[in-house]
Chains A and B, each alone.
Chain A
Amino acid sequence: MKLDLKKLKLRKVNEQLQNIDRKINDRNFTIINPEGNHAVCAGLTEELNINIKGHVGYYCAGMNQKANITIEGNVGTGVAENMMSGKVHVKGNASQSAGATAHGGLLVIDGDASSRCGISMKGVNIVVKGSVGHMSGFMSQAGNLVVCGDAGEALGDSLYETNIYIRGNVKSLGADCVEKKMDIKHIKKLNLLLKEANIKNLKAESFKRYGSAKKLYNFKIDNISNY
């Protein structure tokens, strides 16, 4: 079914997609003329296939559950923020805070993502085919952030249990973020993620893994004078 955002109100389109009758089998939708609108396809909870043709604004596919959403264009701030499950595929570039606080699912970005990609992520898998901006993976708690290009300043600052895989250069590491050994389980997991993101020409062995040194996990009495 084709939904034209030039003719239909955004709220109407989102309401329709958020309230799909479970008995209906036609689950394929195309959204045309998104024209940079915010919150396109936010809050979906059903298994739907949605293709958005054009550039969208902020919080596209936010809070997504189960839906498979492809954006044939660029996305603004906070794409797939707080996603729980499903898949979001951005064919262009993403603005800041892509996949912020997301708990699950897969976010694939074909282009670059700007600053704070995967900020406070809580279990989502994010694969960026291009590069990411500064403070990516900031305070990230769980999940995997895969970057095929470079990473900006302060990568993984104050992170917890997230695994960050970078193939290119890292401008600088944030507080408590260190390079870690790639074990067989990491290589297996990364190969799986690359496959899910349809990346065939790159091998997991060409990436470096970064994670938490866990020095900020506990309060150190030596630092008391700083508070």
Chain B
Amino acid sequence: MCGIVGIYLKTKKFEKNLGKMLSGMLNNMESRGPDSAGFAIYKNSDKKEYKYSLCINNLDFTKFKKNISKKIRNLKLNQYSDHIIVKTPEIPKKFIKFINKEFPEVSIVGYGRSIEIFKQVGNPKDVVKKFNLENFSGTHGIGHTRMATESAITTDGSHPYSTGEDECLVHNGSLSNHNNLRRELKKKGNTFTSENDTEVAAGYVSNSLANNNSLKNTLVSGLKDLDGFYTFIAGTRKGFAVVRDEIACKPAVIAETKNYVAIASEFQAMAHLPDVNNAKIFEPEPGIVYSWGN
């Protein structure tokens, strides 16, 4: 099953409430995915700094802070439970290599100039509380509640998957050609951290974006290359896009007002959003890519 949600703000009116709106959406999708949850929040990007979202797992935060501060001088750390947002001018290539070498127990959940990403096993309501999602502000956000089918219930198996700078993907469904596609993408230089099918789709999107294709065109070619059932929400620094496979067994509903666009697996996820009863509400048609902000 799984529940997916996303919200893109067209105006500044609700920027301070983004976390609150998204947390309500995730809480209402508990019934579709009770075993893990995650979300990505996009904030106005900083041109000087990168943000790295790390999960330190069982590592002690004070110890981690002490050790990393010894090696890298210019950084700021914010702790949210077992996730740390590291702000630093260090470039991704160098910093990721450094973390992998010095802190092998730490997993890199995502990175970019704008994205902050959090995911964990457990009931969505607990996960949302743990990371204090309600207090987040931002321009757009994407979330996922997981009912595991394809791979184990672990943090690595949770969504969103982020495989490129400021990119992320959530998925409701299952892919049948992910093993083949993973092999092909590995040959092209992609790396994968799990056996999960969605990570392959995220890798596919990253690979295409890196080759200067637009997000919309990437998802259009994905309709041919990704075999299986899916509703995807793919996020970038500028916005997000939604696509359903051509059979369209996996649900999605979109509500659009003058202030925001919300997407969710079911309407009940957005029943609490402001002015939703006057929103334009529609289902994304099968095989059509819908995109905002890109």
A35 touches B251 (CB 8 A): no
Chain A minimum-CB-distance residue to B283:
A114
Give the complex CA separation of A219 and B99 in angstroms. Answer: 65
A-chain residues with CB within 8 Å of residue B277 when the two chains form the complex: 54-55, 73
Q: A77-B251, A115-B248 are in contact. Are A57 and B268 (CB under 8 A)?
A: yes
A-chain residues with CB within 8 Å of residue B267 when the two chains form the complex: 36, 55-57, 74, 76
Q: A35-B271, A36-B271 are in contact. Are A57 and B286 (CB under 8 A)?
A: no
User: In B254-294, which residues have CB < 8 Å from any A CB?
Assistant: 266-272, 277, 281-283, 285-286
B271 touches A115 (CB 8 A): no
Query: A122 an interface residue at 8 Å Cβ cutoff?
Result: no
B266 touches A36 (CB 8 A): yes
A115 touches B286 (CB 8 A): yes
User: In B88-129, which residues have CB < 8 Å from any A CB?
Assistant: none
B-chain residues with CB within 8 Å of residue A49 when the two chains form the complex: none
Query: Which of A54, A55, A73, A95 lies in contact with B251, CB distance below 8 A?
Result: A95
Size class of the contact patch on chain B: 10 to 19
Q: Shortest CB–CB separation between residue B210 and chain A, in angstroms?
A: 34
The interface bits of chain A over 107-147 (1 if a CB of B lies within 8 angstroms of the residue's CB, else 0) are 00000001100000000000000000110000000000000
Q: A77-B251, A95-B251, A115-B248 are in contact. Are A57 and B282 (CB under 8 A)?
A: no
A55 touches B271 (CB 8 A): yes
Give the complex CA separation of A11 and B266 in angstroms. Answer: 19
Query: A96 an interface residue at 8 Å Cβ cutoff?
Result: yes
Query: Which of A37, A73, A93, A134 lies in contact with B286, CB distance below 8 A?
Result: A134
Chain B minimum-CB-distance residue to A73:
B277
Give the complex CA separation of A38 and B283 in angstroms. Answer: 17
Query: Which of A36, A54, A95 lies in contact with B283, CB distance below 8 A?
Result: A95
A93 touches B281 (CB 8 A): yes
Give the complex CA separation of A56 and B268 in angstroms. Answer: 8
A36 touches B281 (CB 8 A): no
A-chain residues with CB within 8 Å of residue B248 when the two chains form the complex: 96, 114-115, 133-134
Q: Shortest CB–CB separation between residue B31 and chain A, in angstroms?
A: 9
Give the complex CA separation of A74 and B282 in angstroms. Answer: 9
Give the complex CA separation of A115 and B252 in angstroms. Answer: 13
A-chain residues with CB within 8 Å of residue B271 when the two chains form the complex: 35-36, 55
A-chain residues with CB within 8 Å of residue B266 when the two chains form the complex: 36, 57-58, 76
- Besides the contacts A54-B277, A76-B253, what 20 more A-B pairs have beta carbons closer than 8 Å? A35-B268, A35-B271, A35-B272, A36-B266, A36-B267, A36-B270, A36-B271, A55-B267, A55-B277, A56-B267, A76-B251, A76-B267, A92-B281, A93-B281, A96-B251, A114-B283, A115-B248, A115-B286, A133-B285, A133-B286
